[in-house]
Structure 1
Amino acid sequence: MPSSDRTLAPASPEEVGLSREGLANTDAALQALIDAGELAGAVTLVARHGRLVHTNAMGVKSLATGEALAADTIFRIFSMTKPVTAVAMVILYDQGLWRPEDPIARHLPALADLKLADGSAPGRQPTMLDLMTHTAGFSYGFTPDDPVDALYLQSHPLRASSMTEMAERLGALPLAYEPGSQWRYSIAMDVQGAVIEGLSGQSLPDFMRTRIFEPLGMADTGFFVPAEKQDRLPGLYEMGPEGRLREARSLLGRDHQTTPALPSGGGGLFSTAADYARFAQMLLNRGEWAGQRIVSPQAVALMTTNHLSEALLAAGHGIGVQQIRPGYGYGFNGVVIYDPAAADLPVGAGTYLWDGAAGTWFWIDPVNDLLFVGLIQRMAVAGMPLVQPMTQRLIAKALLVG
């Protein structure tokens, strides 16, 4: 099917080889979590063969008012920003502006001559491939008793007033490990935002808007939610010590109504299920949408290929549900399931996925030509239901034919 026809026009499940009952069972499993008080609500979207077959909104947008969640609710997608940043990066890769083997400092001089925590020079400076795969030696500052993370918490590079200041703060911090020797969830995708600005001459929001969001028709996606759309934001919750959902604070501190001073390529976007599905379908179309070339097939392949060594895959790295392991590797800014049997997941080889801090998740499965977007509003802390693998197993049971 030409990519111009793979633009999420509606279809019945049966037309694309999906079981209506299987889709209902997937939503029923999420509804059970809502009924149990684990989630306030959920929006799910499923597409196959470039056709939209299922969208459902369950539960409430606000626990205080009981207002129902809607399909066009604008969610805080946090780290589901990272795959979008990867696409922005590979657009510039297509232009020949960077290569994986380049030292990061070639494109961001503030990160020249990085040192290890003991003050010594690393065996090599981190490369762009390291930056794209969380193996550069950066961190996020999540662990106060880690000496490098403690320095991140003192410096707060993500509280800088500009990309330039963020890079300067980061350049003064030590690497957490020798580049390429570990996988550690990190500030890397925010650094990519600074690289994008430097290479493109545009701000990160303008680059994403003009090169990704507008071509894809992602009208409700951006780094802020304007005043006239603020009523479409849902409540944000976490599980309290008494076992009930309570209001939670956004990782961004507040919901921006104008472009933030430091737009986060690692976690700053807001989006809807329909918008994110357009992005995901473009990846399944190998970089095209409605006859427009967003990025080359070769760049999509580079982004959605595992780049971790066998040693890193076996080393026990990961974050939350995303535990790196044999079969479950990492491409550019997202997991790649390159061996489903080894990963113990019923998806096709080459499935690319990621999630967000408020529990949102998605995957694209090129073998089964399928995408799934799930949006919820519960901060993903200890005890969070494992909704991504759960829905992957349920959707696998809904597959009827190829």
Structure 2
Amino acid sequence: MKTHGRSLLAPIASMLALCVSAPIHADSPAMPTASPESAGFDRKGLAALDSQMHALVDQQKLAGVVTLIARHGKVVHFDTYGKADAASGAPLKSDSIFRIASMTKPIAGVAMMQLHERGKWRLDDPVAKHIPEFANLRVKTGDGRTEAQKSPMTMAQLMSHSAGFGVSSVYAQADLGATDLQGMIDKLKALPLETQPGTAWDYGPSVNIQGYIIEKLSGQPLDVYLDEHIFKPLGMTDTGFWVSPEKATRVVSIHTYDAAGRIVVQNPQRITTAKPSFLAASGGLMSTASDYWRFSQALLNGGELEGKRILKPETVELMRTNVLQPGAKVDLYGPSQEGIGFGMDFAVVLDTAAAKTPMGLNSFYWGGAFGTWFWIDPTNDLVFVGMIQNLNGSTPTGGTPRVREISAAATYDALKK
């Protein structure tokens, strides 16, 4: 590990080679570790990854950055560099807590698939079977009129952003998160769909709707369900919709850029230390790099980590199986992302050449609005987790360096076997 530019890995290289496990925080379970070489990585190649990330901090393009790589179930690289707050100079630490925004979505997807395993819903179920308010939703036609759905939106479409709901900006005036999840449903039932179900991929309220369904089918509040069925079994001790007051100092500040393009703190800062009224399955969680690795590693393992199973292997495989209909393409920032499909709340690499990615075939991944990112590569038995905290940090035109592409290139350059 490194913190604020000082490497801690070198003095314990021999310990790592023996796969010694060490906790990141007093309350956190230990992570299994191994030397890079034992997992097929070139140590100099990983140093090149660090060098590129550290340079972005030193150039005041990032306040701080965490990168974590695991292979064959063991963490071989965990680097922490820079500041948690550019104004105060507080250092970023290995247990710093980040707003993971849309990296909440895959966690909600796992919750949904747990309920799928219990027979609570099927992929071809009409969404209206579980949300009767949506039974007669109309669809915009483009000429100011509406028409009936040509076929009912299905649960598979809801899980893959192709149910017909528009992008988030469509609902800005409706303010869907102003009350609670039931209030969101009450607002959506009065609005037409943007497209016919199955015909387009649009990144909007679909996963918040899933949060509502999780509550309805489980009989538990969303936060309680996630804690009991995912976070506690996996040892994700620092993941939740809010942090306790004593953990507030560990939350990383959101940053942006000044007129000269240098990193500065975005004010005002808000840290949620009490349960919010709206539990956003689309983007409300906070977490750490080590917690998110535990989640990702469980999926790479086929739904199990350290003897605790959260999904069956065949369910995990289903989550990373493309369900988009022909013509419905992932286009998060436009234009369409070729070679990429979408499964159950995960994007999936279907064609590495078309996608222009070094990730292995069938890798599944996502990221968050403040720049956090991860991928799970079953072809190479690899997990990557990256954490930054920038306003518009995932938007290509938002000023944040393209850390996702940089990290993927460097990671696979360093992988030798």
CA separation of 1:8 and 1:17: change in aligned 2, threshold 3 A = farther
1:374 aligns with 2:374: no
Identity %: 42
Q: Please give the alpha-carbon distance, in whole angstroms, between the structure 2 residues aligned to 1:219 and 1:90.
A: 22
User: Contact between 1:212 and 1:294, CA under 8 Å: does it hold in 2?
Assistant: yes
User: Contact between 2:211 and 2:222, CA under 8 Å: does it hold in 1?
Assistant: yes
Which position in structure 2 is the counterpart of 1:64? Answer: 87
Q: Please give the alpha-carbon distance, in whole angstroms, between the structure 1 residues aligned to 2:291 and 2:259.
A: 35
TM score, norm. by length of structure 1:
0.91
Which position in structure 1 is the counterpart of 2:181? Answer: 163
1:154 aligns with 2:173: yes
User: Contact between 2:123 and 2:156, CA under 8 Å: does it hold in 1?
Assistant: yes
Q: Please give the alpha-carbon distance, in whole angstroms, between the structure 2 residues aligned to 1:258 and 1:129.
A: 33
Paired AA for residue 318 in structure 1: D
Per-residue Cα deviation, 1:229-270 (whole angstroms, up to 9, x for no partner): 0000111012234422233368xx943211111110000000
Q: Tell me how far 1:36 sits from its aligned partner.
A: 1.9
Q: Please give the alpha-carbon distance, in whole angstroms, between the structure 1 residues aligned to 2:338 and 2:85.
A: 40
Paired AA for residue 64 in structure 1: A
Which position in structure 2 is the counterpart of 1:399? Answer: 415
Per-residue Cα deviation, 1:163-189 (whole angstroms, up to 9, x for no partner): 111111111111011111111111100
1:195 aligns with 2:246: no
Q: Aligned with 1:197: secondary structure?
A: helix
Which position in structure 2 is the counterpart of 1:247? Answer: 265
Paired AA for residue 349 in structure 2: I
CA separation of 1:369 and 1:279: change in aligned 2, threshold 3 A = same
User: Contact between 1:114 and 1:125, CA under 8 Å: does it hold in 2?
Assistant: no
Paired AA for residue 332 in structure 2: I
Ranked by relative contact order (alpha carbons within 8 Å, sequence separation 6 or more), the top structure is: 1
Which position in structure 2 is the counterpart of 1:330? Answer: 342
Per-residue Cα deviation, 1:80-115 (whole angstroms, up to 9, x for no partner): 001101101100111111111111111112222111
Q: Aligned with 1:110: secondary structure?
A: helix
Q: Tell me how far 1:8 sits from its aligned partner.
A: 4.4
CA separation of 1:300 and 1:323: change in aligned 2, threshold 3 A = farther
> Which of 277, 292, 295 matches 1:261?
277
Q: Tell me how far 1:292 sits from its aligned partner.
A: 2.0
User: Contact between 2:303 and 2:312, CA under 8 Å: does it hold in 1?
Assistant: yes
User: Contact between 1:100 and 1:127, CA under 8 Å: does it hold in 2?
Assistant: yes
Q: Please give the alpha-carbon distance, in whole angstroms, between the structure 2 residues aligned to 1:106 and 1:257.
A: 36
> Which of 29, 36, 48 matches 2:71?
48
Per-residue Cα deviation, 1:116-174 (whole angstroms, up to 9, x for no partner): 232321212211111011111112442xxxxxx2xx22221122x22111111111111
Q: What root-mean-square deviation, in Å, do the aligned CA atoms of Structure 1 and Structure 2 show?
A: 1.7
Which position in structure 2 is the counterpart of 1:356? Answer: 368
Larger deviation: 132-141 or 72-81? 132-141
Which position in structure 2 is the counterpart of 1:101? Answer: 124
Q: Please give the alpha-carbon distance, in whole angstroms, between the structure 1 residues aligned to 2:406 and 2:254.
A: 22
TM score, norm. by length of structure 2:
0.88
User: Contact between 1:138 and 1:175, CA under 8 Å: does it hold in 2?
Assistant: yes
Q: Tell me how far 1:358 sits from its aligned partner.
A: 0.5
CA separation of 1:103 and 1:75: change in aligned 2, threshold 3 A = same
> Which of 212, 217, 226 matches 2:230?
212
Q: Please give the alpha-carbon distance, in whole angstroms, between the structure 1 residues aligned to 2:125 and 2:71.
A: 37
Q: Please give the alpha-carbon distance, in whole angstroms, between the structure 1 residues aligned to 2:240 and 2:388.
A: 18
Q: Please give the alpha-carbon distance, in whole angstroms, between the structure 2 residues aligned to 1:35 and 1:310.
A: 45
Q: Please give the alpha-carbon distance, in whole angstroms, between the structure 2 residues aligned to 1:93 and 1:243.
A: 47
Paired AA for residue 210 in structure 2: Q
Q: Tell me how far 1:53 sits from its aligned partner.
A: 1.0
Paired AA for residue 291 in structure 1: G
Per-residue Cα deviation, 1:270-309 (whole angstroms, up to 9, x for no partner): 0000000000000000001112221111110111112223
User: Contact between 2:154 and 2:163, CA under 8 Å: does it hold in 1?
Assistant: yes
Q: Aligned with 2:328: secondary structure?
A: helix
Runs of 4+ more than 4 Å apart: none
Which position in structure 2 is the counterpart of 1:146? Answer: none
Q: Aligned with 2:41: secondary structure?
A: coil
Q: Aligned with 2:163: secondary structure?
A: coil
Q: Please give the alpha-carbon distance, in whole angstroms, between the structure 2 residues aligned to 1:238 and 1:323.
A: 25
User: Contact between 1:111 and 1:168, CA under 8 Å: does it hold in 2?
Assistant: no
Paired AA for residue 412 in structure 2: A
Paired AA for residue 333 in structure 1: D
Q: Please give the alpha-carbon distance, in whole angstroms, between the structure 1 residues aligned to 2:356 and 2:243.
A: 38
Q: Tell me how far 1:344 sits from its aligned partner.
A: 1.4
> Which of 358, 371, 380 matches 1:346?
358
Q: Tell me how far 1:324 sits from its aligned partner.
A: 4.4
CA separation of 1:235 and 1:221: change in aligned 2, threshold 3 A = same
Q: Please give the alpha-carbon distance, in whole angstroms, between the structure 1 residues aligned to 2:409 and 2:73.
A: 21
User: Contact between 2:198 and 2:325, CA under 8 Å: does it hold in 1?
Assistant: no
User: Contact between 2:198 and 2:324, CA under 8 Å: does it hold in 1?
Assistant: no
Larger deviation: 370-379 or 289-298? 289-298
Q: Please give the alpha-carbon distance, in whole angstroms, between the structure 2 residues aligned to 1:312 and 1:116.
A: 17
Paired AA for residue 138 in structure 1: F
User: Contact between 2:375 and 2:383, CA under 8 Å: does it hold in 1?
Assistant: yes
Count of residue pairs the alignment pairs up: 381
Which position in structure 2 is the counterpart of 1:145? Answer: none
Pairing 1:7-26 to 2, within 5 Å after superposition: 8-26=31-49
Q: Tell me how far 1:375 sits from its aligned partner.
A: 0.3
Paired AA for residue 278 in structure 2: L
User: Contact between 1:113 and 1:125, CA under 8 Å: does it hold in 2?
Assistant: no
Which position in structure 2 is the counterpart of 1:309? Answer: 325
Which position in structure 1 is the counterpart of 2:332? Answer: 319
